[in-house]
Amino acid sequence: TRELTLAAVDLGASSGRVMAARVGPERLDLTEVHRFPNRPVRTAGTLHWDVLGLYAGVLDGLRAAGRETDGVDGIGIDSWAVDVGLLDADGALLGNPVHYRDARHATAVPAVHAAVPPAELYRVSGLQHLPFNTVFQLAALRGTARFAAARQALLVPDLLAYWLTGARVAEVTNASTTGLLDATTRQWATGLLDRLDLPRDLLAGLVQPGEEIGRLTAEVRGETGLGEVPVVAVGSHDTASAVVGVPARDERFAYVSCGTWSLVGVELEEPVLTEASRAAGFTNELGVDGTVRYLHNVMGLWLLQESLRTWTAAGLPADLADLLAAAARVPAFTAVVDVDDPRFLPPGDVPARLAQACAETGQTPPQSQVETVRCIVDSLALAYRRTVRTAVELSGRQVDVVHLVGGGARNALLCQLTADACGRPVLAGPVEAAALGNALVQARALGALGGGLGEMRRLLRATQALVEYRPSGSAAAWDAAEARLAR
């Protein structure tokens, strides 16, 4: 084994980054070589991703990685899930991918459920019902000229890998978020596709994390100055890579992958496809090395991000660090909301929606920006508490520690409240869990590491700075807050 330099492309809902990782049996260093904004664009009533802008950012980042290192040995790409680009018969992109927060996807839910009842959809795909799952997105596109011209639908990381290499694949961890993958056989659910009148060959052939997708094309080599570097399939769903990046010691852990969304759950070997699991809104997404990410989508830092955006637009001060510091000093639980309420999904005035939700549950709405921030952080911790408890109940997996990874690990108030709410220690970090998980899977595929997830996590524990938060306070206060939202 030798040390390798890997480019990890990690695209989030508000920014993309290209990181250069140096990985060997005792080494794991990450340097950010390029960061670029990801700005959704609304045209003619539809919210899109500017995917060519993102691709340009990826090329810039690869060029920077080549410049700032002694040579790039591999490239891996991860991003958010569910959204697809449609390709025509020539392989050309048919319009920009539609953003999962676009309201149109939900209009197809009744038709899909009429063709395949929700309980049956869950038994096959094991996916939490979210109105933007790819299955609903594709159903909403049926009947459009674009869909009639489409021959293939590629998830965002697969689309970028196609442009880099010319190879069209469907990486399996992200494929598991479409609602069209069979959670038991781990193959495309052709029966579902047939019943939904979706062409079977719309979806590309599946590949596993660790497989080589292809090598950079001559065009991309010219653009980036890199050589014939392999693009390696990683957990191309960012959450799958982030779970690889959880520095767990053994299997008795829960995780909160905390970015725009908070993905809260446990790692299992087999899916849980029971009716109770469906009712609780738990998903069985696939992880690296055949694992199951048994988790629930909690609305996440989006609530803070979108509040800041609203305040900035109104000319109000909106420095997150200042607001969080002040929020730590105001009383807890003045008002709490159910963050999973679908009213918070679309872009817009989140503070006004929070106030409305408080009023509807008989609580005095937050009276200031600081109180609004406190309401969000308390409510997130409350949701993590309920979700960890339910994950334990439904899976039977015992949990000694909660790992909080992603950008939220920088939020000390949220980390402490999560420890208090869950009644368990929280180990916070790494912030860049997804990029680290991306690089680790490449490193193993290219021979710089041996072993399984346990070995990767040992290396994470040996190299990454983590902060521990001990639980404090009383469970009774959290029980009372939870009771206010009893559904």
Catalytic pick from 73, 83, 102, 238?
Answer: 238
Q: How far apart are the first and last CA of the chain?
A: 54
Task: Give DSSP secondary structure letters for 5-31.
Answer: EEEEEEE-SSEEEEEEEEEETTEEEEE
Of 366 and 407, nearer to ligand LFR (C-beta) is: 407
Q: Which stretch binds ligand LFR (CB under 6 A): 75-83, 112-120, 269-277, 456-464?
A: 75-83
Name every residue whose Cβ is closer than 8 Å to that of residue 317 and which is 6 or more positions away in sequence.
311, 369
Name every residue whose Cβ is closer than 8 Å to that of residue 251 and which is 6 or more positions away in sequence.
267, 397
Q: Which residues within the stretch 234-253 sit at the binding site for ligand LFR (CB under 6 A)? A: 237-239
- Give me the least distance between CB of 82 and ligand LFR, in Å please: 4
Using CB under 6 A as the binding rule, whether residue 81 contacts ligand LFR is answered as yes
Looking from the CA of 285 toward its CB, the CA atoms found within 13 Å total 33
Using CB under 6 A as the binding rule, whether residue 390 contacts ligand LFR is answered as no
Using CB under 6 A as the binding rule, whether residue 80 contacts ligand LFR is answered as yes
Q: Is the preceding omega at residue 25 within 30 degrees of 0, hence cis? A: no
Q: Which stretch binds ligand LFR (CB under 6 A): 144-152, 205-213, 256-264, 384-392?
A: 256-264
Q: What is the dihedral of CA 318, 323, 324, 330, to 10 degrees?
A: -150
Q: If binding means CB under 6 A, how many residues of this protein chain bind ligand LFR? A: 12
Instruction: Round to whole Å and give the CA distance between 382 and 450.
Output: 39
* Of positions 137, 277, 297, 442, contacts ligand LFR by CB under 6 A: 297
Using CB under 6 A as the binding rule, whether residue 263 contacts ligand LFR is answered as yes
Q: Are 239 and 81 in contact (CB under 8 A)?
A: yes
The yes-or-no answer on residue 238 being catalytic is yes
- Give me the least distance between CB of 297 and ligand LFR, in Å please: 5
Using CB under 6 A as the binding rule, whether residue 292 contacts ligand LFR is answered as no
Instruction: Round to whole Å and give the CA distance between 10 and 19.
Output: 8
The residue behind tokens 């959204």 is 83
- Give me the least distance between CB of 35 and ligand LFR, in Å please: 16
- Give me the least distance between CB of 183 and ligand LFR, in Å please: 16
Q: Which residues within the stretch 413-432 sit at the binding site for ligand LFR (CB under 6 A)? A: none
Q: Are 338 and 485 in contact (CB under 8 A)?
A: yes
Of 260 and 369, nearer to ligand LFR (C-beta) is: 260
* Of positions 261, 302, 469, 478, contacts ligand LFR by CB under 6 A: 261
- Give me the least distance between CB of 343 and ligand LFR, in Å please: 18
Using CB under 6 A as the binding rule, whether residue 49 contacts ligand LFR is answered as no
Instruction: Round to whole Å and give the CA distance between 30 and 203.
Output: 34
Instruction: Round to whole Å and give the CA distance between 256 and 239.
Output: 10
- Give me the least distance between CB of 27 and ligand LFR, in Å please: 28
Q: Which burial class, exposed, middle or buried, applies to 115 when counting CB atoms under 10 A from its CB (0-12, 13-18, 19+)? A: middle
Using CB under 6 A as the binding rule, whether residue 82 contacts ligand LFR is answered as yes
* Of positions 5, 73, 100, 138, contacts ligand LFR by CB under 6 A: 100
Of 297 and 310, nearer to ligand LFR (C-beta) is: 297
Residue 146 CB neighbour total at 10 angstroms: 12
Using CB under 6 A as the binding rule, whether residue 125 contacts ligand LFR is answered as no
Of 80 and 384, nearer to ligand LFR (C-beta) is: 80
Task: Give DSSP secondary structure letters for 342-354.
Answer: GGGSSSS-HHHHH
Of 237 and 374, nearer to ligand LFR (C-beta) is: 237
Give the residue numbers marked as catalytic. 238
Chain residues that interact with ligand LFR, rule: CB under 6 A: 80-82, 100, 237-239, 259-261, 263, 297
